[in-house]
Structure 1
Amino acid sequence: MKLDESAILWSAPEGERDGRPLLVLLHGYGSHEGDLFSLSPALPLEPVIASVRAPIAESGGWAWWSRRDSVAGDPPLQIVDAAAKAVIEWLDTLPAGPVSLLGFSQGAAMALQLLRLDPERFTATVSLSGFVAGGEHPGDARLAEVKPPVFWGRGTDDAVIPDHAIDRTATWLPPHTSATIRTYEGLGHAISTPELVEFSGFLRTHAQIVRPGATPDQ
């Protein structure tokens, strides 16, 4: 499995990306790279944004894993790992620097799986209307030591993500991450304006660029 690098949408040309943190956008099932990219004007200005396309064509768009291969909310761990490893392999081709993640639905599950694969790599993670894949992962023990900052937002009226997957995620996040958990009354499988304001603020706090000669607290 491999990402189509020609499909990636960038917020800045290649010559203007050096020295800036990177924010990777991971869209949901049956969607495309342009979906979350539309949020760019409301996101922090410091990071360069890269919106990637999932590798599997399905349901009129693209998927990180096929729904034909999994039960809702319970994709096999190895299938989610394979998709996340494709993102890791792409990141390995880029210059080293701070990387944050923002995913929706399937892309939100991908963001959490990327943390499990490489617990120390990501500065901040936003997981919207998603869940963590079930089962123990080799990276979980180290993740529980690092406890990176994660924003998990969801709506009370989300009929897409099963309750058991929500319960699993609510149990898994606190011991493995420094979690900011937000629930939005009356919101379905979508992103609301109040949620957008909150996770944008979260990213501004945790995904800022470090100026040359400065410490992260300056």
Structure 2
Amino acid sequence: MFHGYLSHERDLIGLAPMLPEEFTLVSVRAPHALGPGFTWFPLLHEPDYSIERVTAAVDDVVSWLDTVKGAHTSVTLLGFSMGMAVATSVLRRRPADIEAVVGLSGFAIPTPSDYFRDDEVAAASVPLFWGRGDADQIITEDKIEFTNEWANANTRLVKMMYANMAHSINPTEMGHVCEFLRQSVLAEAPAR
């Protein structure tokens, strides 16, 4: 689980009771302290943003995953807001290691980079749940357009839009996430 901008690792762990009990959950804290919380990298419109800052955060997550993934049957990523950018970036870097991705009110990094292995992501056909509210004023239209295009071209996308939901998560969405996880990860899935 990857939290959003200016949040912390205790934020998303509150979703645990709404997720299938078969999952082992880990909520990861972003590496950079900022204001009241933490961030994975600078916001895309900030002057100190760079793809190198994104890849450094992703490399840290991948290195950590390498130490724990062997103790589990699979790895599924869940990210909220900027945390979705981290989750989809980890998928784009190491698609063979990821069973599924859940993105909530977030986006995929629109910066082109040889670092990402989108051809491998497409070949792996990883399931991606992307839920967002139609009243979200935080994620800009350009990020939504890129994410929609990228996800449709490279993943088995399940996209849900929630009426009157701002930049948040609601119980209906978590019910859909649970159903997605049961079908995509827990059910007997054909080999990818």
Provide TM-score, normalisation by structure 1. 0.80
Of 141, 151, 160, the match for 2:138: 160
**Equivalent residue, structure 1, for 2:122:** 144
Q: Secondary structure at the match of 1:29?
A: coil
Q: For the aligned residues, what is the CA RMSD?
A: 1.6
Provide the rounded CA distance (Å) in 2 between the counterparts of 1:92 and 1:102. Answer: 17
Does the 8 A contact of 2:69 with 2:75 survive in 1?
no
SS of residue paired to 1:136: coil
Matched, 1:169 2:143: no
What is aligned with 1:58?
A: 34
Structure 1: how far apart are the matches of 2:32 and 2:60? Answer: 12
What CA distance in whole angstroms lies between the structure 2 residues aligned with 1:55 and 1:207?
28
8 Å contact kept, 1:47–1:208: no
- Looking at structure 1, the residues matched to 162 and 189 of structure 2 have their Cα atoms a distance apart, in angstroms, of 31
| Contact persistence 2:76–2:99 (CA under 8 A) | yes
1:132 and 2:108 correspond: yes
Give per-residue Cα distances to partners, 1:23-47, cap 9 Å, x unaligned: xx10111111111100101101111
Partner secondary structure for residue 53 of structure 2: helix
In the other structure, the counterpart of 1:29 is 5
Alpha carbons of structure 1 residues 95 and 161: separation in structure 2 relative to 1, 3 Å: closer
Kindly report which structure 2 residues correspond to 1:1-218, keeping only aligned pairs within 5 A, or say none.
25-67=1-43, 70-71=44-45, 76-96=50-70, 97-138=73-114, 139-208=117-186, 216=189
Contact 1:47 1:207 in 2 (8 A): no
Report the alpha carbon displacement of residue 66 of structure 1 after superposing the two structures with TM.
Answer: 2.5
Distance, in Å, in 2 between the alignment partners of 1:95 and 1:200 is 21
Q: Distance in 2 between matches of 1:193 and 1:199?
A: 10
Q: Residues 56 and 62 of structure 1 are in contact (CA less than 8 Å); yes or no, is this contact kept in structure 2?
A: yes
Give secondary structure in 2 for the equivalent of 1:126: strand
What's the CA shift for 1:147? Answer: 1.7
Check the 8 A contact 1:116/1:137 in 2, yes or no: no
Distance 2:185 2:108 in 1: 22
Structure 1 moving runs of 4+ over 6 Å = none
Higher helix share: 2
Question: 2:25 is paired with a residue of what secondary structure?
Answer: strand
Measured against aligned partners, the alpha-carbon deviations of 1:164-195 in whole angstroms (never above 9, x if no partner) come to 11011111111100000111111100001111
Q: In the aligned structure 1, how far is the partner of 2:45 from the partner of 2:139?
A: 11
1:93 maps to a residue whose letter is T
Structure with higher Rg: it is 1
- Corresponding residue pairs, total: 184
* Distance in 2, Cα, partners of 1:31 & 1:125: 20
